[in-house]
Structure 1
Amino acid sequence: MARRNATAYAPSDEGNYHHHVNPAKWRDLRWPTCIKEINVRFLNGSYQQKLLVADLVREHYNTIPMSVKFRFFLEPEGDSDIRVLFVKMGDSHSYVGVSNLIVPEQKPTMMLNLEHKNPDNNKNTILHEFGHALCLEHEHQHPGSGIRLNRRALLKGKNTNAECIDDNYEIQPSLFCPWRTEPYDRHSVMHYGFSKGQLRDPEAYILVNPAVSQGDRNQLLQMYPLKESHKPKLLYTTADSKKLTRGIFEATKKESRWAKFFLRVKGR
């Protein structure tokens, strides 16, 4: 359930999304206005799993009157922007926004572990990862959350280390786009759940949210307005961002109509 910031996919990185490059800096990876549909394909999984994902995403994201929608294909072959791989072990994670487009064809851009006993946790996993695919950040890292972590307790969790906590749990104001107007949203699907003992207050806990909140919807309406003139201008926050993008495309040796966009990866 951790977000992982990476910059590119290389053959030697298969299954590894732990390449951190300035993870605390906000970067604009929104889908451009020329893209009206994000094509999603499944690399494996049962018909029921695919239908669960497609129906849930359509219900929660495609009903938002924004400029971009998800389009699902059950077959693994064909053009795609996002490729889902179902896994039975490990965390779920996703590339962020246009970062999906630098991943070689036939390689997954999103991992989904839907082996949770609680159906609400599976719903949260799906909607959280597709939120990352739309460039939504971890809401508990918003400066308005006021969350105080018990790092010692968190370090006892599986696949958790100090770097993971810094990147995915701790409050990081610089992760959030400078033009965001929505306040901290406790009910965001991008908010982690915390069990008793994981927060400084020993009796405090936070449940996961199995639905896209109104705050999430408002953010996406601001990010992807139907009227292009109202869309905040694409920003390149650092000079090294542009250099990084050029390096990615040189490394992949692949022509791309997305070269003008600055790419990054995230997960959950």
Structure 2
Amino acid sequence: MGEWNKIHYCFFDRAKGHNSPANWTGSEENKQIVRAAFEDWKAVGIGLEFEEVDTPADAEVRIGFQQGDGSWSYVGTDVLEIPLNQRTMNFGWPLDENYYGKETALHEIGHTLGLPHEHQNPKAGIQWNEDAVRTSLSGPPNNWSPETIEYNILRKIPMNEVEGSDWDPNSIMHYQFQAELINSPAPYNQEGIFPTPGLSIKDKDWLRKFYPVLESNDYIELKPFVSVPLVLSPGEQVNFIVKPNISRSYKFQTFGEVDTVMVLFEEENGDPRYLADDDDSGTDYNALITHKLLKGRTYILRVRLYFASASGETAVMMW
């Protein structure tokens, strides 16, 4: 069942016949750095596999190297909503010419795995010199707009959306900041913040919690019109296997007052292929997916608790 926890990634490459802009294609040296970063995340001991594929249509994560466009990634299941001919991740400077090139790749993969910026953790207590931040990040190499600076730096993540440790200034999800950008706390307003390269101890601990290694008996069979009650802890995921005996449209829904994200996959040659998802986080409705399933095929439904403050009882049903 380990194959059900595989993320496929692809590098846009005109030489492979991809219908993509030429400036999305990166050098082999830069691709190798990204591959090594995926290996570092896997080596943490999480219940995920990463596989490189040649075709963008076969990948959940699609990577470009458009220089000057910044380094960025969509966060978590947002990557599943991006059209197949578009990037979900980009590296906007040569990774092989930068001492922190691999750290950039680790950081962007962290976003794909659902991790936000650590410096926006409301538990951090950072008080910014906002004018200095705006001046610094509006220039090279970022060249960010005021809106982007607000969203990526100054904005605090709402406390009810945080599940993780107290502030970790060594997290791979933390930017470097010069001392003049920080008013407090000490000593960072004198020394700046320069995370130790690589994944921090807390990065590794929390990813093992969010993506535990799953054994075959961790999958629950979900049958039509049978409600399955669940008690979920923050970040906990439950996996259902679905084997329909009739080809038709089915509905999948969570019930209760917890905030969840639900994703449906179909098995294809032993690999999971994304079909649909719904995220009810921060809303007053339950996650709901409607999709046609075919008799004789195998499907997986994943349900994960999203908000730390919304843990508790729920139920899942298909009909």
Q: TM-score, normalised by structure 2?
A: 0.59
What are the superposed Cα offsets for residues 235-254 of structure 1, whole Å, 9 maximum, x if unpaired?
233337879x99xx9xxxxx
Which ranges of structure 2 fall in alignment gaps of 5 or more residues?
A: 13-24, 219-231, 238-258, 261-279, 292-298, 305-319
Which ranges of structure 1 fall in alignment gaps of 5 or more residues?
A: 1-32, 250-256, 263-268
1:51 aligns with 32
If asked which structure has higher relative contact order (CA below 8 Å, sep 6+), I would say 1
- 1: distance between equivalents of 2:303 and 2:147? 28
2:171 aligns with 188
What are the superposed Cα offsets for residues 72-126 of structure 1, whole Å, 9 maximum, x if unpaired?
23x3455111100002213111112222122111211111123368633212211
Query: Counterparts in 2 of 1:37-186, with a 5 A limit?
Result: 37-43=6-12, 44-58=25-39, 60-73=40-53, 75-115=54-94, 119-156=98-135, 157-158=137-138, 159-170=143-154, 172-174=156-158, 177=161, 180-186=163-169
Whether contact under 8 Å (1:114, 1:125) holds in the other structure is no
What are the superposed Cα offsets for residues 2-26 of structure 1, whole Å, 9 maximum, x if unpaired?
xxxxxxxxxxxxxxxxxxxxxxxxx
Q: Which amino acid aligns with 2:114?
A: C
Q: Which moved further from structure 2: 36-45 or 142-151?
A: 142-151
Matched residue SS, 2:190: coil
Q: Per the alignment, do residues 160 and 258 of structure 1 end up closer, same or farther by CA in structure 2, a change over 3 Å counting?
A: farther
- 2: distance between equivalents of 1:109 and 1:41? 10
1:177 deviates by 4.1
Is 1:36–2:5 an aligned residue pair? yes
Matched residue SS, 2:182: coil
- 2: distance between equivalents of 1:176 and 1:48? 41
Q: Per the alignment, do residues 238 and 145 of structure 1 end up closer, same or farther by CA in structure 2, a change over 3 Å counting?
A: closer
What are the superposed Cα offsets for residues 179-199 of structure 1, whole Å, 9 maximum, x if unpaired?
x34222111000011023211
Say which structure is richer in strand: 2
Q: Which amino acid aligns with 1:64?
A: V
Q: Per the alignment, do residues 186 and 210 of structure 1 end up closer, same or farther by CA in structure 2, a change over 3 Å counting?
A: same
- 1: distance between equivalents of 2:300 and 2:82? 12
Whether contact under 8 Å (1:137, 1:176) holds in the other structure is no
- 2: distance between equivalents of 1:241 and 1:83? 31
1:46 deviates by 1.8
Whether contact under 8 Å (2:29, 2:96) holds in the other structure is no
Matched residue SS, 1:84: strand
Q: Per the alignment, do residues 242 and 92 of structure 1 end up closer, same or farther by CA in structure 2, a change over 3 Å counting?
A: farther
1:213 deviates by 1.1
- 1: distance between equivalents of 2:155 and 2:123? 9
From 157, 181, 194, the equivalent of 1:198 is: 181
Task: State the superposition RMSD in angstroms.
Answer: 3.3
Query: Counterparts in 2 of 1:210-221, with a 5 A limit?
Result: 210-221=197-208
- 1: distance between equivalents of 2:4 and 2:161? 21
1:232 aligns with 236
1:166 deviates by 3.1
Whether contact under 8 Å (1:41, 1:76) holds in the other structure is yes
Q: Which amino acid aligns with 2:165?
A: E
What are the superposed Cα offsets for residues 46-84 of structure 1, whole Å, 9 maximum, x if unpaired?
2222111102220x20112222122123x3455111100
